[in-house]
Amino acid sequence: MYLPHSLYESEPFLCLGSGALALTQLELVVGQIAGALIMLAGSYILLLRYRARSKKRKQAGKPPVARRR
């Protein structure tokens, strides 16, 4: 099953946001742990995408993306 591009790109941020919401708003420890795990999953997705995209840029011979300060 394929996701629309906009949903695919926003998925890690949705995970981070929903995990933060669960972590702060739920009183049960199980819910807070679930929120932390969802945030961890979103962070991991971002890390994997960053690594894959930087590897593609290196193979294509493009300069690295400039970071804002």
State the burial class of residue 19 (Cβ atoms within 10 Å of its Cβ: 0-12, 13-18, 19+): buried
**CB neighbours of residue 35 within 10 Å:** 19
Helices (H), ranges, the chain: 5-25, 29-60
pLDDT band at 69; cut points 50, 70, 90:
low
Dump pLDDT digits (tens) for 22-51. Answer: 999 999 999 999 999 999 999 999 999 999
Contact 19, 36 (CB under 8 A): yes
Dump pLDDT digits (tens) for 50-62. Answer: 999 888 777 777 7
Q: What is the pLDDT of residue 26?
A: 95
